[in-house]
Amino acid sequence: MAEQAVFPEKVSSGAKIVFILLAGALSMFFAEVCSGSSVLWFLTPWAWIVTFWLYLAHTVFFINLALYFRRTSLTALYLWGVLFGLYESWITKVAWAGYAGQAPGIGTFLGFAIPEFPIITFFWHPVFSFILPMLAFQALSGRVLPGHLQVLIKSRRNWILSALVVILGSAILAFNSKSNLVATVVTALGSFALIGALYLIASKRYGKQFSIESLRLGKAGMTLLLIYLAALYILTFIFILPERTAPPLTILLTLGVYAAIILLLYLKKPDAVEHSVMPDGKSIFGPGELTILAVTFTIMGALFCLVPTADHILTPVLYFGLVLLSPALLLWAVVNVVRFRQKTKAAV
């Protein structure tokens, strides 16, 4: 597999806006559409005023931190994604009190909703809101960080993993749309249409500048992003479901989770200096493969709506399976950090 280092041209402001919007649309799809939390989201004012920008801002903020601090491996992205997912404490209060209008699935432990807290914090947001959008972004650009090649090569394992993502996302979307065929299909197609339009602009007009490094912001951009995120957290913490705010002990424990994840990122140490590479296009997932997966996602969503009994059996099984997978992923990240440090010491 031939690889060629890529040093993108200077990114114009117009190109950067398109790339950032594409990253936001990808995060919105994987996070909200695949979870069925935002059915027909593009037809609702709330999504365009708050939800879309929430995912865009978090995705761009954490990929900038990952690139700046040279923590871009899959393990590091997972840890950044956990920090991303902790917004469900302060903004939505789901991590503390369960989904809006519902009690925690099986109660609480130390003020954290079970199973909501482990699933959204240690699985859904790290994987679906952050890692998958960033992998899809690189697949669309054709330029991949070397550390991510292992999951973007068109191997049997990666096709199986992709199929599992499609099944999980389409099943949950159909389930949470209450098996509404039209809503499910239109939600999928509308989301893919937005992503496709942004991709065409990015590739046709700004193709030479199209890479994950093009999401980097300067000091002014990061300052504006921080101001937006600070306002978002403060205003939503105060005004959205304030009655669901956790007690002081749970808030302190939440801050402790932040501290533990940041410590793991510090212990991880920087990855080797990496720039995007352009591997043999026939060897990695690209726009063609993502289109196949998008079509399959839409068809599977429709089938789950047409056979709701199967969906209503499968989705709860998948959901509660994530309860076991969530801590396993966190353990995987911790083990990888320890192994990386041991290799680093051995090499010195």
DSSP conformational letter for 242: G
What type of residue sits at position 298?
A: T
Once rounded to an integer, what is the mean pLDDT over residues 185-206?
A: 97
Q: Is residue 221 part of a domain?
A: yes
Rounded Cα distance between 144 and 325, Å, is 27
Structure confidence at residue 9 as a pLDDT band (50, 70, 90)? low
Structure confidence at residue 279 as a pLDDT band (50, 70, 90)? confident
- The total number of structural domains that make up the chain: 1
Sequence-separated (6 or more) residues with CB below 8 Å from residue 162: 285, 289, 293
**How many Cα neighbours within 13 Å face the side chain of 150?**
4
What type of residue sits at position 102?
A: Q
Asked whether the predicted pLDDT for residue 162 surpasses 90, the reply is: yes
Q: Is residue 84 part of a domain?
A: yes
Length of the chain: 348
Q: Is residue 297 part of a domain?
A: yes
Rounded Cα distance between 67 and 271, Å, is 10
Asked whether the predicted pLDDT for residue 2 surpasses 70, the reply is: no
Strand partners, 277: 5, 144
Once rounded to an integer, what is the mean pLDDT over residues 333-337?
A: 95
Asked whether the predicted pLDDT for residue 315 surpasses 80, the reply is: yes
Asked whether the predicted pLDDT for residue 132 surpasses 90, the reply is: yes
Q: Is residue 1 part of a domain?
A: no
Q: Is residue 7 part of a domain?
A: no
Range from 3-17, 65-79, 172-186 carrying the lowest mean pLDDT = 3-17
Residue range of the domain that includes 38: 13-347
**100 with 257: CB under 8 angstroms?**
no
Q: Is residue 336 part of a domain?
A: yes
Rounded Cα distance between 326 and 124, Å, is 8
Q: Is residue 2 part of a domain?
A: no
Rounded Cα distance between 230 and 236, Å, is 10
Three-class DSSP category at 108: strand
List the structure tokens of 107: 């109660």
List the structure tokens of 30: 């994987």
What is Dmax (Cα atoms) for the chain? 60
Rounded Cα distance between 290 and 134, Å, is 13
Q: Is residue 300 part of a domain?
A: yes
pTM of the entire predicted model: 0.95
Asked whether the predicted pLDDT for residue 8 surpasses 80, the reply is: no
Residue 16 belongs to what H/E stretch? helix 13-28
